[in-house]
Chains A and B, each alone.
Chain A
Amino acid sequence: MGKIKCVYAIVSSDQPGNDSPVYHDVNVSGLAGANTYAVSFNGISAIVSDFDSEGTKLDKTSALKFAGVIEELALCHCILPMRFGTFFESKEAVLEMLKKHCEKFVHCLGTVKNKYEYCLKVFWDSNLYQSKIESDSVKTDKEASKLVSGTSPQTEYLLCKLKEHKKEEKLLEYVESLIEEIDQKLVHLDPMVKSKKMVSKSLILDAVYLLDKKYKDAFIYEIDSFNKQHEDLNLLLTGPWPPYSFADINAI
């Protein structure tokens, strides 16, 4: 028909694996109420819908609708969510894409099969941050002054930078010890983990975990116990999510 295709996700196909492409309807309503359907090839399917680029705005509402489609698909499929904003010219173009990346998709789908993703954010009271930093910094400031001595503006500048740098390193050490602790607690659940440290002055850890669906309660229990052992930290645990963070086939 000439309408461009919006791609929502790659799923394991319920069509038998073969080399000839198959197209069939999927019972989920997509963007702007368009019907979703599957473009299948060799055991995997791209779930797409027709998209009217003139008519439908790409805004928060459509992004949320897009996420809704993924959640619904995730209920009965092993799924790799696409990033919002992936469009192709035609069914054939989608098929080409599937063919091109087939192996990587299959591999990735295997990794996320029967697993949930969870997101743990650890916040630190920024006032507490200040006082903790101040108490450690006396020592690190002294170390810095030993390394950079001089009175010119250039050395003053450098000394200032070095002091800051040392403070950040100490903070990083603390966050890494927290990560170590969490890893210990979760080791028996065999998770895949990706984490970002020091995202901001208050968000000191942003981690995502991929683990088997059956470990959901055990996982929550362990995070809760970590929470109880660190009264001075604020935790936010969300999930279960489709494997957004573990889906990228190009991730290095």
Chain B
Amino acid sequence: MSENKVLLNSGSMDDLAAEMEKFENKVSSRIDANPDNVDSGLAKLVLTLIELLRKLMEKQAMHRLEGGSLTDAEIERLGETLMKLETKMEELKMIFNLKDEDLNIDLGPLGNLM
């Protein structure tokens, strides 16, 4: 198919280049799946889920902070919990040799995870 579907484009399409490269990597990693990388696929999925939950908790925490109704002690505890979660996440990523971009799956209406 040699059709051109581009109807309108402003800018030099160079800013697309970065997006396209990222996307191309995602495409090839999905489409070239084989038994050898299925395992890392599973790890990716599990960590993505955990990361999603962590980000949701972070978001909730921000909303609570903006609500202004937390005591100083609660704020301390919140900070500590979020810090620990993030540290743990970094550890897990290192163990499975995954980077942020690897966990960045398309969540439909929520956009990308990161």
Contacts and interface: CB of A to CB of B under 8 A. Distances in A.
B16 A197 contact: no
B111 interface: yes
Q: Is the interface of B mostly helix, strand, loop or mixed?
A: helix
B42 interface: no
Interface string A160-172: 0110010000000
Interface of B: 1, 3, 5-11, 13, 15-16, 18-19, 22, 27-28, 31-32, 58-59, 61-62, 65-66, 68, 72, 75-80, 82-83, 109, 111-112
A234 B28 CA distance: 27
Contacts of B76: 150, 152, 154-155
Contacts of B79: 152-158
B82 A161 contact: yes
A118 B27 CA distance: 21
A154 B75 CA distance: 8
A223 B7 CA distance: 10
Contacts of B28: 60
Nearest to B80: A154
21 contacts: A59-B32, A60-B27, A71-B3, A118-B7, A125-B15, A148-B75, A152-B79, A154-B77, A155-B75, A157-B79, A157-B83, A158-B61, A158-B75, A161-B62, A199-B112, A200-B112, A235-B8, A236-B16, A237-B6, A238-B6, A239-B7
Interface residues of A, number: 47
B1 A58 contact: no
A67 B6 CA distance: 16
Nearest to A219: B7
A154 B83 contact: yes
Contacts of A58: 31
B1 A196 contact: no
Contact of B68 (A147, A194, A206): A147
A68 to B, nearest CB: 5
B68 A202 contact: no
Contacts of A156: 79
